[in-house]
Amino acid sequence: MNTVYISFGSNIGDRKKAIEEAFYLIEQNNMRITKKSTILETEPYGYTEQPSFLNGALEVKTDISCRDVLEKLLYIEKEIGRVRKFKWGPRLIDLDIIFFNDEVYDEEDLKVPHPDMHNRDFVLKPLCELCPNLIHPVLKKTVKELLEHKIETGG
């Protein structure tokens, strides 16, 4: 059984409803949610001229491959109504694979661990709630260490 950590976010429309719908569809697509973080209200990242986000993380157990998880998450985003207009733009729902077991994928459309996760409070804080001692397979630091470093450096 694979363990997947997924970050989620929403900043337009009924944010809570979109997140709840994502949880439901994840469960309907051969992924069992085993842990949910607290949902945080956060400032936008990258493109800042947009509403604040609701963000969090999930621990999911599944027997499907990383590629299949990605395809299902993209399907769920589309099903809920996400339209990709530009990078870091407003979104009804965003679902990203952060970790897939301790595996590393570096393909054009599949990068795991998420390549920018260590720079994002809105990913690290919820992840730290779920798996503080999980070691990043590339950076070789725990999630807790990554968050502490980000706080210490003010990054």
So which residues are the catalytic ones? 82, 91, 94, 96
> Residue ranges of the alpha helices (H) in 3-108?
15-28, 66-80
At residue 59, the 3 state secondary structure works out as strand
Q: Are 55 and 40 in contact (CB under 8 A)?
A: yes
Tokens of 117: 């996760």
Please state, in angstroms and rounded to a whole number, the distance separating the CA atoms of residues 83 and 120.
Answer: 22
